[in-house]
Amino acid sequence: MSHFDFSFYKKSADYVKDVIKDEPETALILGSGLGSFADEIENPVSISYSDIPNFLVSTAPSHEGRLIFGKIGNKKVICMSGRFHHYEGYSFKQLSIPIRLFKLLGVKRVILTNAAGGVNESYSPGDIMIIKDHIKLSSFSPLAGENIPEFGDRFFDVSDMYSSALRKTASEISKSCSLNFHEGVYMYFGGPQFETPAEIRMARLLGADAVGMSTVPEALTAAHCKMPVLGFSVITNMAAGVIPNSKITHEEVGEEAGKISEKFSEYIKKVIMSL
Ligand code: HPA
């Protein structure tokens, strides 16, 4: 048995269950600069990542490290404020931990948000992209290694992992939000460097609309255990080379995400309440 066996994940879940004593329906993982949504959760029970056995500790700037359970309206949610990335040194396998924790808590669906660079030239900073599919060129997978049948099958279908039903709801609700929405393809790059202009030209040729360094490992883990995913990219900047002579900075990413975070939080609340 490998180190990451079923009991490894169960140990984290048993601890959290014991603290929250309830069953969340929707889980959220919030990306760069979008952590303010966590403040919207009513009657919050907050757990520090470092208290959860077998959990990870987030090292990225602008990512907090708390798991928060509570309510949005009458809906029970659990939210990770601060996520983990491969560029922090975590393996894809380690990135399966939060999603499998959610699964074992009884979560029915997961909402993943990220900050991303716009590849599609009709996008602008401040726009939101509902993720309809992804491209990952590296062969890394959080499901590599011994399969754990309690979670899912060795080989599994991912053709509707970004659930078309959830996307339809998200798109309906976007009509009453003043932010600008698109539906598009997210392409995964490992980072931590931003992409080269040549990589972005390749991404566009391949059909990508936005690029980023997260979400895909979590979405794949969710697909394996048959949890539908609703993914959103906040376009914080145009990707490398799209605007001649401009440079991408982490500060710009955080600033742009911050500008829309209030409206986006309101929107996410409406989405959760409609589920
Ligand atoms: N590339 C990758 N990740 C990102 C970007 C980008 O341009 N912007 C925000 N996250």
In the Cβ-directed half-sphere of 252, how many Cα atoms lie within 13 Å? 13
195 touches ligand 1 (CB under 6 Å):
yes
Cα–Cα distance for residue pair 269/248, rounded to 1 Å: 30
| pLDDT at residue 58 in the model | 67
| pLDDT at residue 258 in the model | 92
- Concerning whether 88 is annotated as a catalytic residue, the answer is yes
Q: What's the gap in Å between 116 CA and the centre of ligand 1?
A: 4
Phi, psi of 43 (to 5 degrees): 45, 50
- Concerning whether 213 is annotated as a catalytic residue, the answer is yes
Place of tokens 């790059």: 189
Place of tokens 């329906």: 25
Cα–Cα distance for residue pair 265/263, rounded to 1 Å: 5
| pLDDT at residue 63 in the model | 57
- Concerning whether 188 is annotated as a catalytic residue, the answer is no
Residues with pLDDT less than 50, the chain: 1
Q: Identify the DSSP state of 122.
A: T
Cα–Cα distance for residue pair 103/108, rounded to 1 Å: 7
Residue of minimum CA distance from atom 9 in ligand 1: 116
- Specify the length of the chain in residues: 275
Atom of ligand 1 nearest to the CA of 189: 2
Atom of ligand 1 nearest to the CA of 118: 7
Place of tokens 């404020």: 81
Token pair recorded at residue 198: 């040549």
Atom of ligand 1 nearest to the CA of 239: 7
Asked if residue 96 lies in contact with residue 6, where contact means CB atoms within 8 angstroms, the answer is: no
| pLDDT at residue 62 in the model | 57
Cα–Cα distance for residue pair 77/28, rounded to 1 Å: 8
Token pair recorded at residue 93: 């396998």
Cα–Cα distance for residue pair 34/261, rounded to 1 Å: 6
| pLDDT at residue 64 in the model | 65
**pLDDT per position as a tens digit, 148-172:** 999 999 999 999 999 999 999 999 9
- Concerning whether 227 is annotated as a catalytic residue, the answer is no
Q: Identify the DSSP state of 272.
A: H
**pLDDT per position as a tens digit, 58-74:** 676 555 688 999 999 99
